[in-house]
């Protein structure tokens, strides 16, 4: 209901992420209900709040609005950026592979940017 209300008054919804094992920007009752839901599923780096429409690929998770990243996993996301940037350099002679590596690094960077910008707004 809160999401529908935000849409009606055109208030942007706060991005969700996990910090210290708790989903931030989410009411406690909603968080508890989400984690009991059969559609919720723990994935590498966070939680998928609705796995029913999943395509089963981590790259889809990074772009999906149902993906709630775990702020405790920020080191993992940073490692992935570094790894994909290195792969992009190694595949310089193969444009398609290089572009794919750059895209993957950018997806991980967007997750970090989201968590860091939300953390700054919360005063952390």
pLDDT tens, residue by residue, 76-113: 999 999 999 999 999 999 999 999 999 999 999 998 98
Reply yes or no on whether the pLDDT at 115 is more than 70: yes
In sequence order, the 6+-apart residues with CB closer than 8 A to the CB of 20 are 71, 72
The CA distance from 52 to 56, in Å, is: 10
Domain positions in the chain: 13-121
pLDDT at position 15 is 58
Residue 116 has a pLDDT of: 82
pLDDT at res. 123:
46
In this prediction the pTM is: 0.66
Render pLDDT for 27-76 as a digit per residue (tens, 0 to 9).
566 666 666 777 777 777 777 877 776 766 667 788 887 788 888 888 99
Return the closest-CA partner of residue 41 out of 19, 58, 24: 58
Q: How far is CA 39 from CA 34, 52, 55, 85, in A?
A: 8, 6, 14, 33
Token digits for 69? 């990243």
Q: 70 phi and psi, to 5 degrees?
A: -95, 115
Q: Which pLDDT belongs to residue 56? A: 65
Q: Higher confidence at residue 7 or residue 72?
A: 72
Crossing angle between the packed helical segments 74-90 and 95-121, to the nearest 10 degrees: 160
């Amino acid at each position: 209901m809160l999401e529908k209300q935000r849409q009606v008054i055109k208030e942007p919804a706060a991005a969700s992420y996990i910090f210290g094992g708790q989903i931030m920007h989410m009411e406690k009752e909603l968080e508890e209900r989400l984690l009991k839901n059969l559609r919720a599923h723990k994935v590498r780096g966070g939680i998928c709040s609705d796995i029913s429409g999943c395509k089963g690929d981590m790259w889809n998770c990074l772009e999906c609005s149902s993906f709630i990243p775990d702020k405790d996993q920020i080191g993992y996301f940073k490692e992935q950026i570094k790894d994909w940037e290195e792969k992009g350099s190694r595949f310089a002679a193969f444009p398609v592979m290089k572009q794919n590596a750059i895209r993957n690094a950018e997806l991980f960077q967007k997750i970090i940017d989201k968590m860091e910008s939300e953390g700054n707004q919360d005063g952390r």
